[in-house]
Amino acid sequence: MTRLSANLGFLWPELELLDAIRAAEHAGFEAVEVHWPYITHAVEVALVLEELQIPLISLNTVGGDLASGDFGLAAVPGREAEARAHIDKAFAYGVDVSARYVHVLAGKSSGDEARATFVENLRYASAKGEEFGVGVLVEAISQHTQPGYFLSSIDEAAAIVTDVGRPNVKLLFDCYHVQLTDGNLIQRIATHLDLIGHIQIASVPERAEPDRGEVDYPALLRQVDELGYDGFVGAEYKPAGRTDDGLGWMAAIS
């Protein structure tokens, strides 16, 4: 049975984070995940999560200077100190809210030096995670969504996770990005299942509710369940209208 997590980076954007967590639980989500929660005090978030008895699956490292085009720094040579400061900040917050994972954003770069930088920063993040009991996620993000992002192929992301060689470093398998870049979703999920820590869904190509577009998510997620995936599935989509008005898809999936 699919267990759904609400990505509050996109869902209920009109609400403050604490209210969005409550809205997600009220709508029937069994977990939440966030992008950059840092303006809300971690203790406040932890209290709401404890009250509602739902986990926080993941949060992102800070993207760097977003206004200047940064989208993470972990694969950007020469900015290792900044990248590791962001990793430290994310894990500190993650521990306070009992997050299961920190998603380490690679940033915009390319080449062998960038890859080596990313691997070393992921090993640094892995050590932090082992210290605090929090996992690390690595995501391939499509060039359509983030032009210039270091990592767009799920197969290359899997190769990097394998090279890092730490059991707490896993793939964030975002079906939207993988379908845009690689396709063959169920084949790739089956191939990389042992490395997958979290799965996310959205319609393709609109990135709206997962009840339209070219991916049949009810069928896909039944196959994922049959493969033995036992993690949460994150709803990371941009609602076509009000979030509450577009949640009818949940009945078909869960």
In this predicted model, what pLDDT tens digit does every residue of 181-239 receive, in sequence order? 999 999 999 999 999 999 999 999 999 999 999 999 999 999 999 999 999 999 999 99
pLDDT digits (tens, 9 = 90+) for 5-60: 999 999 999 999 999 999 999 999 999 999 999 999 999 999 999 999 999 999 99
232-253, pLDDT tens digit by residue?
999 999 999 999 999 999 999 9
Give the active site residue among 30, 33, 209, 236. Answer: 236
- Which pLDDT does position 65 carry in this prediction? 79
Instruction: Give the separation between CA 179 and CA 163, rounded to whole angstroms.
Output: 24
pTM of the predicted model as reported, rounded to 2 decimal places: 0.97
Kindly tell me if the per-residue pLDDT of 67 is higher than 80: no
Whether the pLDDT of residue 66 is over 80: the answer is no
Q: Which residue type does 159 have?
A: A
Residue 120 appears among annotated catalytic residues? no
**pLDDT for the residue numbered 69:** 83
Question: Residue 96: is its pLDDT beyond 90?
Answer: yes
Total domains present in the chain? 1
Instruction: State the pLDDT at residue 10.
Output: 98
Say which residue, 1 or 57, is predicted with more confidence.
Answer: 57
Q: Is 113 a catalytic residue?
A: no
Categorize the per-residue pLDDT at 1 as very low, low, confident or very high, splitting at 50, 70 and 90. confident
d(CA 214, CA 220): 11
Bridge partners (DSSP) of residue 102 are 59, 136
Q: What is the pLDDT of residue 242?
A: 98
Angstrom distances, CA of residue 8 to CA of 18, 64, 80, 231, 234: 10, 20, 28, 18, 10
Range of the structural domain that residue 177 is part of: 3-253
Q: Count of CB atoms within 10 A of residue 162's CB? A: 11
Cα–Cα distance for residue pair 74/87, rounded to 1 Å? 9
CATH number of the domain that 39 lies in? Answer: 3.20.20.150
Q: Is 80 helix (H, G, I), strand (E, B) or coil?
A: helix
Averaged pLDDT for residues 69-81? 95
pLDDT for residue 64: 78
Which of 25, 30, 33, 139 is catalytic? The answer is 139
3-state secondary structure of 216: coil
